[in-house]
A and B are shown apart, each in its own frame.
Chain A
Amino acid sequence: MAEKLTIGVLSQIRSFVRDPVTVVLAVLLPAIVIEGWGQAISNMPEMPTVESVPIELARIVGATLGVALVAGILGLVMIIGARSADRRLVVVGYSPSTVLVSRLLTIVGITVVIAVINFGVLSVNVSAEAPFLAVVFLALSGVLYACIGVLVGAILPRLFEGSLVIALLAMMDAFLSGESPLAADVPWWVEYFPLYHPKTLVQDTMLDGTYAMGDLLFVLGYLAVLVGLALFVFQRTMAVEGRWLR
């Protein structure tokens, strides 16, 4: 069981790393998004009734977006790979739970790496009060978007179309949920966007070293629902001849 799990995780990591686009994105996007978002929002001209946003806050939103983008693509890549491979693995003797756990472990493992890279880029200009918690909350926002990537991939099982949807979703999410003097009149339902509470958690731990339990519970609840849906989607990819293999 453990050996099969290790093989499964390693092969999935290898298939993700083998694609140069995902690797380049994982390495380059943090710098582009964190600095791009940070400079953009903080350079807005001063306006009488509009409160300016410190560059640190804008960079933190950029880091959350950077993790979400790459993790979303990761989830998409995983579900597309699962459609072509997991059923065969089950047919040749892998247990569905082993395949499922290896997929989830891969998603969590790579997302943590992405979160560490983004935190590293962020730390160049913003010092963290609680670095470990900041990485954990960045990774949480990544896992949320990885699950969204899985769900998008279930509906649009193509890398081009799926990654376009994820990119636009994540950018809209970050724009409306994040610190932007432009998007000040955001409606109440924006609070239910995937990045709204994770962004608050990362921001609080980076700048104050604390966090609100309400935000964390909200994110965990959100995560539970999305992980449940992602598991359901992964399980369906393993159905053989209309039934689940045991």
Chain B
Amino acid sequence: MSGRRTMTMFRISFRETARNYVLVGLLIALPIAFITVAFAVTQDAQMPIELPIDGETQTVMRGLPEVHGVAMTPLTSTIIAGIVGLLLMQDARNVDGRLVLAGYRAREVILARLGTLSVLVTLVTVVTVGVMAYDVRPEQPMLFVLAIFVVTLLYGFVGMLLGVVFDRVAGLWTILVASMLDIGLFQSPLFPMGEDTWWVKILPGYHPMEVVFDAGLTAQPDTLVHLGWSLGYLFLVGTVAVLLFYRLTGGQQTSRLQVIP
């Protein structure tokens, strides 16, 4: 019974999101605008880049278009996922509390929303990596896809957290600025800023982006420790997001109990 209700809610939530023409437009336009254009306009030169090879950080030469393409893929996916997370949390604020009042359990609603987020993040990962693969293949495809999925889901949760604090427009700008700075600037080897400082290392993009560049530009995995840290970070942010989600939806049940004489 509970599983059926969760599936019904998931289907409704997914259909509702799929009907959002902004998200559909972003999913189609942004990968082409960011990733394909990046390949098209970047000049064909070799650039020095620091990468983990055989357990050591070495400076090697890689094609500028390849490095740019690998850098733009997570930037694109995190912007879209952040907006998805933000909209999901906004919907939760508007709708899910009423569902709980109507008899749904908070955990059913949350499971359905998390299912929607996971499916959309998978879709975003497939589309962005697919668009990138048209121009360049990552050296370690499976690890690359996993790293993109992790950083995308992480930003989906970050979007959810922002949805608790900000309204839609403020949340949108915060997501844009956060993704641009964290993924597009601080973690990108295109714009090295010297030795990474402690505050760069605690940003959500640090560990997964180490894996993204390792998997995208080297033949052997050397950043599995970073993958572990990424999963830990994901678990932490996901837990906080779920707890806040629970407060938003489950809170309605408490107020119902309070008004019944």
Number of interface residues of A (CB under 8 A): 33
Q: Which of A40-48, A117-125, A198-206 binds B?
A: A40-48
Contacts A49-B45, A182-B68 given: A40-B169 contact, CB under 8 Å? Answer: no
Inter-chain CA distance A120–B215, complex, in Å, is 43
- B226 at interface by CB-CB < 8 Å: no
For A47, list chain B residues within 8 Å (CB).
45-48, 64
Q: Is the interface of A mostly helix, strand, loop or mixed?
A: helix
Q: What's the Cα separation between A161 and B21 when bound, in Å?
A: 9
CB < 8 Å neighbour of A32 from B38, B46, B181: B181
Measured as residues with beta carbon below 8 angstroms from the partner, the interface class of chain B is: 35 or more
> What are 11 residue pairs bridging A and B, where the CB atoms are less than 8 Å apart in the complex?
A32-B177, A40-B184, A43-B193, A46-B48, A48-B46, A159-B168, A164-B22, A168-B33, A172-B33, A182-B43, A187-B41
**Nearest-neighbor residue (CB-CB) of A20 within chain B:** B170
* In the complex, chain A residues whose CB is within 8 Å of the CB of B192: 43, 45
Option from A43, A167, A182 in Cβ contact (under 8 Å) with B41: A182
Most chain A CB within 10 A, of B26, B40, B83, B168, is at: B168
Q: Determine how close the nearest CB of chain B comes to the CB of A178; give it in whole angstroms.
A: 12
Q: When the two chains form their complex, are residues A49 and B43 in contact, meaning their CB atoms are under 8 A apart?
A: yes
Within 8 Å CB of B190, what residues of A? 40, 44, 182
Other-chain contact of A21, B33, B46, B68, B169 (Cβ < 8 Å): B169
Is chain B's binding surface mostly helix, strand, loop or mixed?
helix
Residues of A within 8 A of B168 (CB): 159-160
Q: Is the CB of A183 within 8 A of B191?
A: no
A212 located at the interface, meaning its Cβ lies under 8 Å from any Cβ of chain B in the complex = no
Q: State whether the Cβ of B173 lies closer than 8 Å to any Cβ in chain A.
A: yes
Q: Does A224 contact B (CB under 8 A)?
A: no
Query: A184 to chain B: which residues have CB within 8 Å?
Result: 41-43
Q: A47–B68 Cα gap in the complex (Å)?
A: 14
Contact (Cβ within 8 A) B41 A176: yes
Q: Knowing A45-B47, A50-B45 are in contact, say whether A163-B193 is a contact too (CB < 8 A).
A: no
Knowing A47-B46, A182-B64 touch, does A40 contact B191 (C-beta < 8 A)?
yes
Residue in A160, A172, A182, A183 whose beta carbon sits within 8 Å of that of B169 in the complex: A160
Question: With an 8 A cutoff between CB atoms, is B53 at the interface?
Answer: no
**Does B117 lie at the interface of the complex (its beta carbon under 8 Å from any beta carbon of A)?**
no
**C-beta contact mask, B159-180 vs A, less than 8 Å → 1, else 0?**
0000000011110110011001
CA distance A182 to B41 in the complex (A): 7
